[in-house]
Amino acid sequence: MNALKNKVQLIGNLGQDPEIVTLENGNKLAKFSIATSDHYKNTKGEKVEDTQWHNIVAWGKTAEIAENYLTKGKQVAIEGKLTHRSYETKEGDKRYITEVRCNELLMLGK
């Protein structure tokens, strides 16, 4: 059960091409976002689509795969863990961000 404590699985479409960062040590980092959509009927019986955006980060070989094969609009399956971090803007404001650290990536569709 320990493996299930912090596990995220998502299937969605890329909102933009991955942003690739190569660190000084040569390690690669890929940042991208995917959209997941859910459909339901509201109290009036109208069909509603709810789209959620998820920030994804991938390191190493997974980042290289993202760099070489992923483009805006592609459908992917992501498995990873939820992470939270904070940073300070140039103006000194503190910002918080939630990301999925991708451990596995599967390209779907065409």
The pLDDT tens digits along the chain (110 residues) read 666 789 999 999 999 999 999 999 999 999 999 999 999 999 898 999 999 999 999 999 999 999 999 999 999 999 999 999 999 999 999 999 999 999 999 999 76
Predicted model pTM? 0.85
The count of residues in the chain is 110
The domain containing residue 52 runs over which residues?
2-108
Strands 8-14 and 28-41: antiparallel
User: pLDDT tens for residues 17-48?
Assistant: 999 999 999 999 999 999 999 999 998 989 99
CA angle 20-4-55, nearest 5°?
Answer: 25
pLDDT at 109: 77
Q: What is the pLDDT of residue 5?
A: 87
78: CATH: 2.40.50.140
Tell me how far apart the alpha carbons of residues 76 and 69 are, in angstroms, rounded to a whole number: 11
- Total domain count, the chain: 1
Give the Cβ contact number of residue 58 at 10 Å.
27
| CA neighbor of 49 nearest in space, from 60, 41, 57, 59 | 41
Here the tokens at position 41 are 């009927």
